Amino acid sequence: MTKECEYCGQQVRVPNDSVDGWEMCRCAEARQRQRYESLVLEGAELIDEIFAAPEEDCGFAPVSEYGVDMLRGIMREVAQQNVGAVTVGLPDGSKAAMRINGSGELEISRSKRRKIANSTNAH
């Protein structure tokens, strides 16, 4: 089965009907979108680990569902490189920080006199 890439118009082979053409295309724009989608998926997991996990798992009080949703929105802007780096003060006095590092990984951290951090894998 083939589908058209929405960026370059090339017909590309896809494994099934649920996969869009851009997901398999190798044009620059499609690769950029694939990278963004990968960062967002991995970044959402990191946000859950660092901000939504129970205190015994991450060492900090969990952030509200609204706060986690807000952090995911900010993370998408950082992943798309609409902003370079962001630091957000959280209600418990800790700080959330997000940026794309020199290796192209999305770094997400939380600190309050101590810091926990993680990053996505470079692709």
Indicate whether 109 belongs to any domain: yes
Q: Tens digit of pLDDT for each residue in 47-104?
A: 999 999 888 888 888 999 999 999 999 999 999 999 999 999 999 899 999 999 999 9
**pLDDT(117) > 90:** no
Task: Report if residue 16 sits inside a domain.
Answer: no
The yes-or-no verdict on residue 123 having pLDDT over 60 is no
Q: Which residue has the tokens 């951290």?
A: 109
The answer to whether residue 6 sits within a structural domain is no
pLDDT at 55: 86
81 belongs to a structural domain: yes
Q: What is the pLDDT of residue 106?
A: 95
- pLDDT score, position 44: 95
Burial class of residue 89 (count of CB atoms within 10 Å of its CB; 0-12, 13-18, 19+) = exposed
Helix axes 28-47, 65-79, angle to 10 degrees: 150
User: Domain range spanning residue 93?
Assistant: 33-119
Q: In the numeric block, which tokens belong to residue 33?
A: 């979108």
Tally of domains in the chain: 1
Angle at 75 between CA 94 and CA 67, to 5 degrees: 50
Q: What is the pLDDT of residue 60?
A: 87
Q: Is residue 51 part of a domain?
A: yes
Nearest in space to 34 (alpha carbons), one of 9, 69, 5: 5
- Determine, yes or no, domain membership for 100: yes
Distance CA 27, CA 78 (A): 22
User: What is the model's pLDDT at position 114?
Assistant: 67
Is residue 58 assigned to a domain? Answer: yes
Within-domain flag for 63: yes
